């Protein structure tokens, strides 16, 4: 067969080489069309015909669809738009369906999307309607007309002009020769009302069961005169029809089923959806006719107001065959699909609330299709309370419908990224460095393996809703801070590798959900419950920081939806509340933590209160300055981003105003003129003293966890050549910082949060942190300093080839945390960007 395809292609090329192609054929009732061929330069298709023979040459190239008969033996001239239902291997040369039934093909090849478990959309080249306007073709399969069909669409707007399905489909009784399933029927359509119109053919397979496939062949798109169509069946136009856009309401008509099924259209087997399926509480359930299949189509509504819709949905146990689809009026493109991922068998006909984001479809007319393509085992739908006209944002936690069209249900392999970085890693000449870079880079994705043990990947992707949960390592919970930093070395590969992009996008979606659940928590369990309730400013900021990075690199604004708006609003409200902290909103409950440090703060200062540092240790003074700086930089970034994509103006203005006010407060209350270093930033303050010459109420130090004073440029608050930052850097990288340590193998910043050396600080046992060494390298342009940091980290892993938390700089075999991938990510990112100079941020987005 491969050899046959090869010679077919050679034949087509020879035709193109020798001249001009024009097809004048006499219509016939036989399966093949007899044609007198006049060759036209540049054409590779012979799918045009005329009802009368003529010696005059007509250039029909513009009226012909390329490879409409698939005689190239592949999908040349056709484009896969979505899915995997159509590929070159689906162009086949089969002869018979069974010994007594032929496929009714026209030539040698035809297209048969024979694996019905696959879905997809295939689109032809464009052509112009000419001549008589008659188009003929062969079509088999396509049982359910709402899911498998052939469309004729406007080439520029993609508006659906005509839709046909296999209206002659018939599964006969045994012995009945009227078998019309895979074997193709001959159809025609009359598009003479569209003469001169440029269109495309679109094959749509959205069915994964019950004869959910297409068999097509021999699209003849030009007849100079109307042919004899006695051997063809006129294909009915089954495209959805709605009233004009101007009259489309915001509220879906009869969304509560109070009027039975008025306003809805049933497509499919008789009885699949009917008024008797609606109970007294106005819940629609087709359980009584579970063996029937079909689609329930709503009327149209317009996406306006709060750009949010909601449905209570149950059952849909098998998401490939039972689901809710949202489609755009006109093009009839499916733009959203979801199922009840929270439903379980014991729920029976009970429903769950789901919200659908409509931000991408602002001012567009939409409609729902409720798909039941399953014949048993809870293959049904229960539906109630459809609402599309929200005027204000409701409180939403996890009741979100995830778009099944937006993520891949296959396991992520990150193959493209691996193929790019692995040769670069292999080129590192020093063996210890090479192994360390490899192991730290893959620590988050693949886990850690060394002579101390084996630990699995910390990334857990939920293929039911496309979200990602990343545990911190040796603690089985997800920190909002850690999880954002753990993916740092992979960010620049998002445009190269879609698996990377989808994993990180899924992480953002999960983080936003967790913030909506409890904005004062810093860590969460897999089920969404709070693992640790310590309010830290950075727990709110890291997901927003990551969202900004995600957009900058991918230009994908789909994450900034109505649910993000709710998340952002909650974050902003929380930050504003904590600028005038009251224990009624959040209270430190641990008694020893409550006893640590003075509680009094100046609530008029404009600074943001926090209970804990990024180490999860309690603050001494309750205005943690690196956290406030992180808030300023992140809110500024988010405000600019929202301005660029023209969304959520109220939240944008609040973010920008707050950032400006907090920046002013930092510069007013968090600086100190040091006798040795000049003007520096304080680590924590109580906000009472604006005297730059006074150290009262100001804690002068820095610690390893990020955000930190060392990280100021990396956070985006100030440049690394800013005078106050340089003064601060000189101070914190000196013995004047009580948590700066020097040892035999390394020197750098440590943290009060360590389990080595007893009471803090302890200069007799130097315990810098790997993450602080990495941040020192990331915030300098001095190549010698960068090389020194790399050397320190590479040589202090105690032979594990991965980074740890704290380590004894005199005896690196003494360290804390075997399995901690945050510092691994920082080391790998530092090496990739500063040593290997990998910068893919300018690559075009996917």
Nearest CA to 198 among 128, 123, 133? 128
Distance CA 580, CA 603 (A): 5
Residue 756 has what pLDDT? 80
Residues (pLDDT < 50) of the chain are: 1, 6, 11-55, 174, 842-846
Per-residue model confidence as pLDDT tens digits over 310-327: 999 999 888 888 999 999
Residue 463 contacts residue 456 (beta carbons within 8 Å): no
Sequence-separated (6 or more) residues with CB below 8 Å from residue 650:
none
Give CATH for domain 245-406: 2.60.120
Number of CB atoms found within 10 A of residue 344's CB: 11
Residue extents of the structural domains in the chain: 2-234, 245-406
Per-residue model confidence as pLDDT tens digits over 828-844: 999 999 999 998 864 44
Distance CA 139, CA 230 (A): 17
Sequence-separated (6 or more) residues with CB below 8 Å from residue 63:
48, 127, 128, 129, 130, 131, 221, 222
| Topology agreement, domain 2-234 and domain 245-406 | yes
Pairing of the two strands 185-190 and 233-234: parallel
Residue 510 contacts residue 468 (beta carbons within 8 Å): yes
Q: What is the H or E stretch that residue 642 is in?
A: helix 625-645
Number of CB atoms found within 10 A of residue 173's CB: 6
DSSP alpha helix (H) spans, 393-536: 415-426, 431-446, 480-486, 498-517
Residue 271 contacts residue 292 (beta carbons within 8 Å): yes
Distance CA 742, CA 766 (A): 6
Residue 336 contacts residue 405 (beta carbons within 8 Å): yes
Cα atoms in the Cβ-side hemisphere of radius 13 Å centred on 81: 17
Question: What CATH superfamily classification does 2-234 receive?
Answer: Galactose-binding domain-like (2.60.120.260)
Q: 166 — phi, psi (to 5°)?
A: -85, 80
Nearest CA to 28 among 223, 261, 203? 223
Task: Classify residue 406 by its DSSP letter.
Answer: G
Per-residue model confidence as pLDDT tens digits over 693-730: 999 999 999 999 999 999 999 999 999 999 999 999 99
Number of CB atoms found within 10 A of residue 5's CB: 18
């Amino acid at each position: 067969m491969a050899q046959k395809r090869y010679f077919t292609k050679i034949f087509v090329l020879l035709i193109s080489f020798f001249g001009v192609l024009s097809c004048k054929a006499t219509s016939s009732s036989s399966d093949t069309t007899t044609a007198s061929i006049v060759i036209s330069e540049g054409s590779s298709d012979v799918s045009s015909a005329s009802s009368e023979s003529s010696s005059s040459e007509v250039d029909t190239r513009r009226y012909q669809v390329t490879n409409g008969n698939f005689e190239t033996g592949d999908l040349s001239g056709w484009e896969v738009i979505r899915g995997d239902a159509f590929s070159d291997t689906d162009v086949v040369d089969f002869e018979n369906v069974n010994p007594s039934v032929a496929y009714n093909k026209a030539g040698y090849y035809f297209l048969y999307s024979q694996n019905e478990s696959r879905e997809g959309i295939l689109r032809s080249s464009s052509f112009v309607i000419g001549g008589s306007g008659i188009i003929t073709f062969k079509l088999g399969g396509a049982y359910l007309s709402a899911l498998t069909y052939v469309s004729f669409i406007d080439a520029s707007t993609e508006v659906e002009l005509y839709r046909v399905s296999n209206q002659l489909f018939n599964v006969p009784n045994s012995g009945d020769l009227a078998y019309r399933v895979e074997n193709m029927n001959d159809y025609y359509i009359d598009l003479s009302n569209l003469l001169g119109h440029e269109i495309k053919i679109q094959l749509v397979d959205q069915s994964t069961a019950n004869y959910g496939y297409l068999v097509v062949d021999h699209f003849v798109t030009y007849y100079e005169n109307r042919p004899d169509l006695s051997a063809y069946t006129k294909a009915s136009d089954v495209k959805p029809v709605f009233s004009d856009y101007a009259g489309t309401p915001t509220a879906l008509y009869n969304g509560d089923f109070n009027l039975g099924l008025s306003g809805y259209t049933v497509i499919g087997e008789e009885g699949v959806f009917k008024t008797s399926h609606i109970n007294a509480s106005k819940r629609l359930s087709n359980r009584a006719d579970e063996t029937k299949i079909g689609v329930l189509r709503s009327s149209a509504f317009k996406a306006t107001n709060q750009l949010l819709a909601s449905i209570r949905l149950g059952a849909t146990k098998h998401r490939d065959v039972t689901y809710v689809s949202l489609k755009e009026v006109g093009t009839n493109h499916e733009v959203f699909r979801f199922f009840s991922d929270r439903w379980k068998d014991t729920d029976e006909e009970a429903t769950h609330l789901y919200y659908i984001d409509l931000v991408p479809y602002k001012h567009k007319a939409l409609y729902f299709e409720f798909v039941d393509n399953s014949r048993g085992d809870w293959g049904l739908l229960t539906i109630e309370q459809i609402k599309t006209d929200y005027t204000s944002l409701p409180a939403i936690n996890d009741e979100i419908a995830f778009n099944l069209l937006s993520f891949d249900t296959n396991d992520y392999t990150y193959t493209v990224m691996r193929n790019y970085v692995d040769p670069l890693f292999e080129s590192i000449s020093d063996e210890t460095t090479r192994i360390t870079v490899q192991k730290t880079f893959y620590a988050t994705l693949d886990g850690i393996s060394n002579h101390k043990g084996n630990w699995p990947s910390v990334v857990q992707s939920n293929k039911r809703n496309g979200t990602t949960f990343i545990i911190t390592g040796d603690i089985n919970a997800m920190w909002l801070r850690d999880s954002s930093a753990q993916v740092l070395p992979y960010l620049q590969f998002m445009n190269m590798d879609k698996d990377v992009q989808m994993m990180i996008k899924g992480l953002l979606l999960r983080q936003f959900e967790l913030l909506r659940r409890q904005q004062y928590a810093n860590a969460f369990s897999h089920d969404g419950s709070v693992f640790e309730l310590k309010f830290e400013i950075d727990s709110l900021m890291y997901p927003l920081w990551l969202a900004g990075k995600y957009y900058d690199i991918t230009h994908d604004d789909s994450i900034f939806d109505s649910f993000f708006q709710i998340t952002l609003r909650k974050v902003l409200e929380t930050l504003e509340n904590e600028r005038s902290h009251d224990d009624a909103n959040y209270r430190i409950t641990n008694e020893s933590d409550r006893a640590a440090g003075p509680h009094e703060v100046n609530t008029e200062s404009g600074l943001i209160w926090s209970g804990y540092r990024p180490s999860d240790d309690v603050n001494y003074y309750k205005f943690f300055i690196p956290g406030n700086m992180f808030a300023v930089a992140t809110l500024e970034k988010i405000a600019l981003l929202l301005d660029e994509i023209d969304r959520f103006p109220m939240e944008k203005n609040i973010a920008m105003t707050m950032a400006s006010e907090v920046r002013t407060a930092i510069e007013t209350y968090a600086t100190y003129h040091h006798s040795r270093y000049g003007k520096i930033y304080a680590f924590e303050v109580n906000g009472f003293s604006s005297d730059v010459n006074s150290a009262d109420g100001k804690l002068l130090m820095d610690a390893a966890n990020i955000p930190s004073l060392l990280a100021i440029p990396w956070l985006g608050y100030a440049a690394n050549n800013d005078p106050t930052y340089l003064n601060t850097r000189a101070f914190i990288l000196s013995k004047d910082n009580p948590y700066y340590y020097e040892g035999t193998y390394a020197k750098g910043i440590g943290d009060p949060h360590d389990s080595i050396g007893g009471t803090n600080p302890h200069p007799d046992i130097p315990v810098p942190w790997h993450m602080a060494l990495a941040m020192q390298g990331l915030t300098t342009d001095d190549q010698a300093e960068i090389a020194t940091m790399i050397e320190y980290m590479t040589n202090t892993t105690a032979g594990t080839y991965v980074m740890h938390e704290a380590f004894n700089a005199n005896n690196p075999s003494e360290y804390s945390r075997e399995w901690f991938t945050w510092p691994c990510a920082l080391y790998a990112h530092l090496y990739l960007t500063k040593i290997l100079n990998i910068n893919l941020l300018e690559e075009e987005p996917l």
